[in-house]
């Protein structure tokens, strides 16, 4: 007998559980829908094998049944057959105590994992198993009588194993962190780029930026051994060429001669077609082709050159050989973010502004990073806190009343779908949480610029607010890491563009999701995926959308509603207007999960996981069109008197403004996120043609069917459904 706490005890020996067998049998038969059918005599057999655990409550000298767990132990795996807790003992962690006891028992006996089969429709049961660290390993069909879908859940025990564990972690559902190793692109340098390092060369500044970007970790640079041969061939007798010595600093790749005879004519016909036809290739032309061949043969990312003939053939070379041919200017122009100042209202009297960091700000940046325990060497090399410029790194500071409250940096990169960002915040400042929200939103919007990307977010240790807020936006990470990772997909995903968007995910992260979209059943339905480390897992639709945010999986059959919003509220709640305002942004824009307040009778329309299409009414010179679509996180009723800042801050209303949305003293508060703006607002005339209601009907929250939803999406997006 092992005491779990002062009132609940766990029994696992047959002599102790035998007096409770009749009670256990009665409890097991009380909910066959969830527990299944247990043949007569089986309970006694499991008790004899000491594979029945019973929880009891001690009351004076008597013991009362408080729950049981039935399991099967076949080394090296255990299998939970039943867990039951009577209603009077629920919400006291009895089930967790039973399961923890089993985990310890199996761990001590060198078992490697525990399995449990849970029906998909048992929502509360699945939440319990997930909270206990049981991930979905596979999905199976249930019996023919009930025709259920069964989740086969697994929990890996902390025991020495011959094979490595799967590494699945609920905090890292896509497996982006367990095998994260950023692929830094490696380019060969052409000789003309090296010569541009000369101080009087016209392209000197571009090449200097290129080398600064290598120092910042955006790329790696190397040479072909053909460079050495070329320098030797052109050197003057008796004159030392310093470029020959400089070239020896770089790693060098030799051409593979046995493949050269095949590649040479192919490349010549693409790069120098006229001279190839007339057999008038020059020595320098052959040297250029050897650079290209070396990049192809060693499967490098590409070649950096200023040669116009090679650059003009870049598209063909990319298509045929998969290499990038770029000029140094391509690095300068890539990932160029916004550079204007933006101001946001906060929960305090002060406002927050985000602006590019200049050299005049570097002292404040260095001070903030040093206060957070970052070594001086890391401030310069990893955080680009000093001696940088806007062409090499994107650096932003968040300011409150002239005080630096946060710092955000990510290097410019030739691969915009792989971003490593550094973020730090002064957690002692009253606006620290708003600072984090602002920087994260800015990073996702400006850093990715709508491209499917993987973002690695690095931050100092003990920055709890960054970790907590980032996790709500789909960033995941392992417990002991000071970094988090997420994918940003953006936009809407339908049956028409599903395969293409899944390919985008794979190219950005090596996460493979099936090419065929499923039918929508519910927002917790599981979708199979293959993680970057090769392990197969499953993820709920809701979690997948959060991980890819801002994105919406508009699967066939997904419920949707059209709900009205006046222009005066829509501009701040949705922030959908393409025109910049000279006034500070409303605080609601800091939140990726915002609140839409409406009359109490709309609650039934806003079910978790439903899509919301926001119709900006014509009142106050509104567009009279659907302007955005989002996802319902949850909805609840709350009286005006009980409204708190947590309810109102993510909205655009205050207590006085509640009167403007109806006379009811009880409001529906709908938390929504993953906002996607329509490229072309869908006008009232189109909605009428699709049967979505008259103008008066559009002034109330109304459900639409799947055909109407898909047609609206086709009207509103150019590439989203093609």
Residue 135 reports pLDDT greater than 90: no
Q: pLDDT by residue (tens digit) across 432-485?
A: 999 999 999 999 988 777 688 899 999 998 888 998 899 889 998 877 778 899
Residues facing 122 on adjacent strands: none
Strands (E), 35-142: 52-59, 62-74, 77-84, 113-119, 135-141
List the one residue out of 271, 192, 264, 196 whose CA is nearest residue 231: 192
Are the C-beta atoms of residues 421 and 458 closer than 8 Å to each other?
yes
CA atoms within 13 A on the CB side of 335: 27
**Helices (H) and strands (E) in the chain — how many of each?**
27, 30
Count CA atoms within 13 Å of residue 445 on its CB side: 16
The alpha-helical segments, DSSP class H, found in 70-147 are 94-108, 123-131
pLDDT at residue 532 in the model = 87
pLDDT at 422 over 60: yes
pLDDT tens profile 352-365: 999 999 888 989 99
What integer is the mean pLDDT of 561-573?
89
Which pTM value belongs to this model?
A: 0.74
Cis amide prior to 144 (ω within 30 degrees): no
pLDDT tens, position by position, 617-662: 888 788 999 999 999 999 999 888 888 777 788 887 766 666 666 6
Alpha helices in 644-694 (DSSP H): 645-648, 684-689
Q: What pLDDT is attached to residue 226?
A: 82
Is 235 in contact with 241 (CB distance < 8 Å)?
A: yes
Looking at residues 547-555, what average pLDDT do you find? 93
Q: Which CATH architecture best describes the domain 186-333?
A: 3-Layer(aba) Sandwich (3.40)
What pLDDT sits at residue 1?
39
**Over 90: is that where the pLDDT of 201 sits?**
no
| pLDDT band (50, 70, 90) for residue 2 | very low
Task: Kindly indicate whether the domain formed by 2-156 is annotated with CATH number 3.40.630.30.
Answer: yes
Question: Domain spans of the chain?
Answer: 2-156, 186-333, 350-488, 492-553, 560-716
CATH of 350-488, one of 3.90.1570.10, 3.30.200.20, 3.40.630.30, 1.10.10.10: 3.40.630.30
Tokens of 664: 């009811």
**pLDDT on residue 4:** 42
Of 333-342, 424-433, 577-586, minimum mean pLDDT range: 333-342
Sign of the Cα torsion 568, 569, 570, 575 reads positive
31-59 per-position pLDDT tens digit: 877 777 777 678 888 899 899 999 999 87
pLDDT at 511 (0 to 100): 92
Q: Mean of the pLDDT values across residues 103-115? A: 88
Token couple for 40 = 């007569």
Helix (H) or strand (E) holding 268: helix 257-271
Residue carrying structure tokens 């007339």 = 278
Q: Nearest 5°: CA angle at 20, between 15 and 21?
A: 90
Domains 2-156 and 350-488 share a fold: yes
Confidence at residue 5, expressed as pLDDT on a 0 to 100 scale = 44
H or E element that contains 405: strand 403-411
Task: Give me the half-sphere count of Cα atoms (radius 13 Å) on the Cβ side of residue 290.
Answer: 22
Greater confidence (441 vs 696) lies with 441
Condensed to tens digits (0 to 9), the pLDDT of residues 174-188 reads 888 765 556 778 899
| Inter-CA distances, 202 with 175, 206, 208, Å | 46, 9, 12
Domain covering 560-716 assigned CATH 2.60.40.1890 in the classification: no
* Mean pLDDT along residues 428-433: 90
pLDDT at 610: 96
Q: List the one residue out of 193, 522, 460, 508 whose CA is nearest residue 325.
A: 193
Cα pseudo-dihedral 477, 482, 487, 490, rounded to 10: 120
Q: How high is the pLDDT of residue 417?
A: 78
For 461, other C-beta atoms within 10 Å of its C-beta total: 8
The H-or-E segment that residue 354 falls in is strand 351-356
pLDDT in tens, 310-369: 999 988 998 898 888 888 877 665 544 445 688 888 766 778 999 999 888 989 999 999
- Tell me what the pLDDT averaged over the chain comes to: 85
How far apart are the C-alpha atoms of 55 and 76, rounded to whole Å? 25
Measure Cα distances from 345 to 438, 485, 576 in Å: 11, 28, 17
Residue 576 to residue 579: CA distance in whole angstroms: 9
> Counting Cβ atoms within 10 Å, is residue 195 exposed (0-12), middle (13-18) or buried (19+)?
middle
């Amino acid at each position: 007998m092992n005491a779990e706490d002062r009132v609940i005890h766990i029994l696992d020996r047959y002599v102790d559980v035998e007096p409770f067998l009749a009670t256990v049998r009665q409890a097991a038969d009380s909910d066959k829908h969830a527990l299944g059918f247990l043949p007569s005599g089986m309970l006694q057999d499991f008790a004899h094998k000491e594979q029945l655990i019973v929880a009891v409550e001690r009351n004076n000298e008597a013991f009362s049944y408080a729950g049981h767990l039935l399991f099967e132990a076949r080394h090296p795996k255990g299998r939970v057959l039943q867990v039951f807790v009577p209603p009077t003992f629920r919400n006291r962690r009895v089930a967790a105590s039973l399961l923890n006891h089993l985990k310890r028992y199996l761990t001590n006996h060198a078992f490697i994992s525990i399995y449990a089969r849970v029906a998909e429709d048992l929502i509360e049961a699945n939440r319990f198993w997930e909270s206990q660290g049981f991930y979905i390993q596979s999905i199976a069909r249930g019996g023919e009588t009930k025709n259920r879908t069964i989740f086969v859940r697994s929990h890996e025990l902390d025991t020495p194993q011959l094979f490595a564990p799967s590494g699945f972690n609920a905090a890292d559902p896509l497996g982006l962190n367990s095998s994260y190793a950023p692929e830094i692109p490696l380019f060969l340098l052409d000789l003309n780029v090296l010569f541009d390092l000369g101080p009087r060369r016209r392209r000197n500044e571009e090449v200097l930026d290129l080398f600064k970007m290598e120092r910042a970790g955006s790329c790696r640079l190397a040479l072909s051994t053909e460079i050495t041969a070329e320098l030797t061939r052109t050197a003057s007798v008796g004159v030392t060429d310093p470029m020959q010595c400089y070239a020896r600093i770089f790693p060098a790749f030799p051409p593979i001669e046995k493949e050269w005879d095949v590649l040479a004519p192919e490349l010549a016909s693409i790069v120098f077609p006229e001279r190839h036809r007339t057999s008038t290739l020059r020595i320098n032309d052959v040297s250029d082709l050897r650079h290209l061949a070396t990049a192809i043969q060693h499967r490098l990312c590409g070649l950096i050159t200023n040669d116009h003939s090679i650059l003009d053939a870049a598209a063909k070379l990319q298509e045929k050989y998969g290499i990038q041919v770029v000029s140094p200017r391509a690095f300068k122009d890539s990932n160029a973010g916004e550079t204007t100042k933006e101001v946001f209202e906060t929960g305090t009297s002060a406002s927050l502004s985000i602006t590019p960091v200049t050299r005049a700000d570097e002292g404040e940046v260095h001070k903030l990073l040093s206060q957070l325990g970052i070594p001086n060497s890391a401030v310069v090399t990893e955080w680009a806190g000093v001696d940088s410029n806007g062409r090499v790194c994107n650096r932003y500071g968040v300011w409150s009343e002239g005080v630096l409250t946060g710092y955000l940096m990510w290097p410019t990169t030739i691969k915009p779908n792989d971003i490593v960002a550094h973020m730090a915040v002064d957690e002692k400042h009253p606006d620290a949480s708003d600072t984090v929200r602002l920087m994260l939103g800015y990073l996702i919007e400006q850093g990715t610029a709508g491209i499917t990307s993987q973002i690695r977010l690095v931050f100092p240790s003990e920055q709890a607010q960054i970790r907590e807020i980032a996790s709500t936006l789909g960033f995941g990470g392992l417990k002991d890491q000071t970094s988090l990772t997420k994918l940003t997909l953006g936009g809407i995903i339908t049956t028409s563009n599903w395969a293409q968007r899944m390919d985008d995910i794979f190219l950005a992260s090596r996460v493979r999701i099936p090419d065929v979209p499923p039918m929508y059943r519910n927002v917790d339905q599981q979708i199979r995926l293959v993680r970057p480390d090769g392990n197969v897992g499953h993820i709920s639709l809701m979690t997948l959308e959060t991980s890819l945010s801002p994105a919406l999986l508009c699967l066939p059959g997904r419920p949707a509603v059209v709900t009205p919003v006046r222009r005066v509220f829509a501009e701040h709640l949705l922030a959908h207007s393409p025109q910049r305002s000279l006034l500070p942004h409303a605080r609601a824009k800091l939140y990726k999960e915002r609140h839409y307040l409406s009359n109490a009778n709309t609650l039934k329309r806003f079910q978790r996981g439903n899509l919301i299409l926001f119709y900006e009414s014509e009142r106050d010179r509104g567009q009279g069109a659907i302007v955005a679509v989002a996802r319902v996180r949850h909805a609840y009723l709350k009286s005006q008197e009980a409204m708190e800042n947590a309810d109102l801050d993510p909205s655009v209303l205050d207590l006085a403004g509640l009167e403007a949305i109806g006379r009811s003293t009880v409001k529906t508060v709908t938390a929504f996120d993953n906002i996607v703006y329509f490229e072309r607002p869908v006008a009232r005339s189109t909605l009428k043609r699709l049967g979505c209601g008259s103008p008066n009907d559009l002034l109330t929250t109304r459900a639409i069917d799947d055909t109407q939803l898909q047609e609206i999406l086709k009207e509103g997006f150019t590439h989203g459904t093609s």
